[in-house]
Structure 1
Amino acid sequence: MKTASFLLPKDKVSFITSTSSMKEALEQLEQHYYTALPIVDENGKYVGTLSEGDLLWTMKNTPGLTFDNMDHIQVSNIEKHIRNESVSLHAHMEDMLALAADQNFVPVVDDDHLFVGIIRRKDIIEYYMRNITD
């Protein structure tokens, strides 16, 4: 089965741009109760994932950084500790299981590597649970 049928499209996904500030990222995580967000560049291409841990490590390792001045740090300047691998919109669900073991979500890109949405780990697990019990 193709991943497109499980796609949560970009317009329904919270994501940030690489030029967003650390403060904006923290606010997005808090607002949606997420632990990680996809990052897209100025051209709409998927470039990585920002996690809560990335923000915490940046706070810990940046002298003088506080909640009051974190709007001066761009997401692109934050060291990322996880790398969510993306898949093509044309990928099959069989390609997802290994990724879902290590990622909360799988970013999906089109042929030009433009970010089109995500597939949630929950949806991948449910797909396999239905197929195992059938």
Structure 2
Amino acid sequence: MEISSFLFPKAKVAYITTSMSMQEAMEHLEHHQYSAIPIIDSEGKYVGTLSEGDLLWKLKNTPGLNFDNMNQVPVTEFKKRIRNECVSINAQMDDMLALAADQNFVPVVNDDLVFIGIIRRKDIIEYYTRNITD
């Protein structure tokens, strides 16, 4: 089986861009009810994952930062506490499963490292639950 069979395509994935502000990132997380979201740069490449915790730590550790001025803080200023590794669409299934064991989702990139979607751990578990018999 190829990992592409688990791909949840970019067109259906909520993500943020490096040009967004902290306020915009928070609104995306809230709107989609996610606790973490992929970050994509201006070339479409995956650059990391932003979590709710990242937002909270930034708010706590930045003097003078509050809900009224979060729109002035770019996403690129955040220390990322979650390091979601990405996988190539051509990777072996074992490589993807190893990442999925530790990540809620695995970002997927093409040969040019452009973000093309994610593989959700939930989908992997559902697949194996349906297809593995004793």
What TM bracket, shorter-length normalisation? over 0.9
* Structure 1 residue matching 2:63: 3-state secondary structure: coil
1:93–1:124: 8 Å Cα contact kept in structure 2?
Answer: no
Residue matched to 1:33: 33
Q: Distance in 1 between the 2:125 and 2:93 partners?
A: 10
Q: Distance in 2 between the 1:101 and 1:37 partners?
A: 18
Shifted more, 87-96 versus 56-65: the winner is 87-96
Post-superposition Cα deviations, 1:90-121, rounded to whole Å, max 9, x if no partner, equal: 12333232212221100000000000000111
What is the correspondence of 1:40-119 to structure 2 with a 5 Å cutoff? 40-119=40-119
Q: Distance in 2 between the 1:87 and 1:73 partners?
A: 29
- Count residues with an aligned counterpart: 134
Task: Please give the TM-score of this superposition, normalised by the length of structure 2.
Answer: 0.94
1:18–1:74: 8 Å Cα contact kept in structure 2?
Answer: yes
1:108–1:119: 8 Å Cα contact kept in structure 2?
Answer: yes
1:29–1:35: 8 Å Cα contact kept in structure 2?
Answer: yes
Task: Please give the TM-score of this superposition, normalised by the length of structure 1.
Answer: 0.94
The structural deviation recorded for 1:54 is 0.3
AA at the equivalent of 1:56: L
The structural deviation recorded for 1:61 is 0.1
Q: Distance in 2 between the 1:94 and 1:126 partners?
A: 17
AA at the equivalent of 1:47: V
Residue matched to 2:16: 16
Q: Distance in 2 between the 1:3 and 1:54 partners?
A: 29
Q: Distance in 2 between the 1:97 and 1:8 partners?
A: 15
AA at the equivalent of 1:7: L
Q: Distance in 2 between the 1:130 and 1:85 partners?
A: 27
The structural deviation recorded for 1:5 is 1.3
* Structure 2 residue matching 1:113: 3-state secondary structure: coil
1:89–1:109: 8 Å Cα contact kept in structure 2?
Answer: yes
Residue matched to 1:127: 127
Runs of 4 or more consecutive aligned structure 1 residues displaced over 3 Å after TM superposition = none
